[in-house]
Amino acid sequence: MREQAHPGDFTSAQKSVLHRLDRDGPATVSALARAESVRPQSMRVTVAGLEAIGAISGKADPADGRKTLIDLTPAFRKTIKASRAAREDWLLRALQAQLSPQEQDALAAAVKLLQRLADF
């Protein structure tokens, strides 16, 4: 799957913020900084870089107009969805090409066990 990604696309900090916004929804810069255990100033730099490429945008918090909520842009959400679909398609083709049906079943069983462990 790593081969399908472009190595210089995003920094690890940017990837982490994008993943968090995708998973958890809009957040303030301060909340993102706390969640990522970085200083707000550092998070502002990360956010500014993502805003510059159009991946995220900010809007006034409806509960407190003094705050700005950062979220993924609709266009970037489409990009994420397309990227995931391409990676999932690649993985499915790789599994079908490299594993026998019995091995695929064993892998599916292992995934269920790993999910059970992760949920514990």
- Which portions of the chain are predicted below pLDDT 70? 1-8
What was the pLDDT predicted at 21? 97
Domain that holds residue 15: 1-120
Point out which residues pair with 69 in neighbouring strands: 59
CATH number at residue 118: 1.10.10.10
What was the pLDDT predicted at 120? 84
φ, ψ dihedrals at 65, nearest 5°: -60, -15
User: What is the total count of domains within the chain?
Assistant: 1
